[in-house]
Amino acid sequence: MKRILTALNDYLQDFSSLIYPNLCICCNESLVKQEQHFCTRCAIGLPRTYYHLASMNPVEQLFWGRVKIEKATSFFLFQKGSKYQKLLHHLVNMPHGIVTVGKFPNCLTLPM
């Protein structure tokens, strides 16, 4: 019985996505069932900084002489007008909760 309900739910979600498709925040392409918020192509193309791997990275340097901190980092580079600008606006305007970006092993989970 549970399998039938799951299959029915899948059919209903597939049908509703024909009318109201889930779109990628960044590129407005349709999302596949395993994707949330933004597509895998945009996740892969995200301009990551890898600052968490480097000490004295540019984000930490922003705080030098101002505030005593132990670590600072940024996940990706922000460039005004890029498709990832919409992602940042979406994250800022999310209600309280957790945003998970991607389903693959190195996905990003942000407590909001």
Count Cβ atoms within 10 A of the Cβ of residue 7 and give its class: 0-12 exposed, 13-18 middle, 19 or more buried: exposed
Q: Tell me if 74 sits within 8 A of 59, measured CB to CB.
A: yes
72 near Zn ion, rule: CB under 5 A? no
Q: How far apart are CB 10 and Zn ion at their closest, in Å?
A: 23
The pair of three-digit structure tokens given for residue 101, joined into one six-digit string: 């970006």
Q: How far apart are CB 26 and Zn ion at their closest, in Å?
A: 4
Q: Tell me if 48 sits within 8 A of 56, measured CB to CB.
A: no
Q: How far apart are CB 27 and Zn ion at their closest, in Å?
A: 3
101 near Zn ion, rule: CB under 5 A? no
Q: Interaction with Zn ion in 29-58: which residues (CB under 5 A)? A: 39, 42
Identity of the residue, 52 or 86, whose beta carbon is nearer to Zn ion in the bound complex: 86
**What residues does 110 pair with on adjacent strands?**
99
Q: What is the spatial distance between Cα 33 and Cα 11, in angstroms, rounded to a whole number? A: 12
Residues in contact with Zn ion, total (CB under 5 A)? 5
| Footprint on this chain of Zn ion (rule: CB under 5 A) | 24, 26-27, 39, 42
